A and B are shown apart, each in its own frame.
Chain A
């Protein structure tokens, strides 16, 4: 049997690595990939707790997270393609059209 804390620790490590990718990398593609990593580490926690309490809701929420992630990636990559067509850059810091 796998202890619950092992899965939680794996989720923590993957979450911190993904957050590091989001905060420190300047390439938009790598930022999006790190976002996937963040959502996946949350899924590990959902499934680990669902197994611990013998409750299906953990797995069901993980399914919904995966579906919403697919939608998010499709829209984000569409925006990325439109951005590259208009501005020809992949660096996060160069995208200041909205004065952000």
Chain B
């Protein structure tokens, strides 16, 4: 049951990811990326991380994709839309990509734990509660640093996107 759902969501997310890269119109790319993120969040649910699935939907589908669509709306897309995607146009990059994919596949498939199914350890109790405790106790400093980074990004985005001031 789990495996069937995983295969379904993985197939759809790979197809939509290919659509992101291959689509000519950036709006189509953005919508395909949204579908891809939704299916990846479903995979997070299957991987027993429901909190991450909800965060994924909130942040990626809710915030980042709306940001992308707003920027697409703000700038004039007409000339950019007209360029075609040429996979053979950049041969060194294509060769590098094939090498990367083959290398990672070989490394994964040669691993002696490739057939391992059951986790080596199981956890019990309230997952989200334990996750929150770990995040706010052991990882408090990185959490605060992340919030400072978000504040800096907020200020930076406003300063970068405003009109030229004299």
Chain A interface (Cβ within 8 Å of chain B)? 1-10, 12-21, 23-27, 29-30, 32-34, 36-37, 40, 43-44, 47-48, 50-57, 59-60, 62-64, 66-75, 77-82, 84-85, 88-91
Contacts and interface: CB of A to CB of B under 8 A. Distances in A.
Interface of B: 2-3, 6, 10, 13-14, 17-18, 20-21, 26, 29-30, 33, 36-37, 40, 43-44, 46-49, 51-52, 55-56, 59-60, 63-64, 67-68, 71-72, 74-77, 79-80, 83, 85-87, 89-90, 93-94, 96-97, 100-101, 104-105, 108-109, 111, 113-123, 130-131, 134-135, 139, 142, 146, 149-150, 152-154, 156-161, 163
B87 to A, nearest CB: 6
Q: Which of A52, A59, A79 has the most CB of B within 10 A?
A: A59
A56 B160 CA distance: 37
A46 to B, nearest CB: 9
Nearest to B3: A2
Contacts of B33: 33, 36-37
Contact of B74 (A19, A23, A48, A81): A81
Contacts of B49: 47, 50-51, 59, 62
Contact of B139 (A4, A33, A60, A66): A60
Q: Is the interface of A mostly helix, strand, loop or mixed?
A: helix
Q: Is the interface of B mostly helix, strand, loop or mixed?
A: helix
The 8 A-B residue pairs with the shortest CB-CB distance in the complex, in nearest-first order:
A71-B153, A78-B160, A54-B121, A78-B157, A90-B80, A23-B93, A21-B21, A16-B101
Nearest to A73: B64
B67 to A, nearest CB: 6
Nearest to A26: B83
B124 to A, nearest CB: 9
Contact of B10 (A6, A72, A82): A6
Nearest to A39: B60
Contact of A17 (B6, B21, B52, B109): B21
A77 B26 contact: no
B134 A56 contact: yes
A5 B153 contact: no
Contacts of B100: 16, 19
A94 B144 CA distance: 38
A72 B83 contact: no
Contacts of A40: 36-37, 40, 60
A91 B83 CA distance: 9
Contacts of B29: 29-30, 33
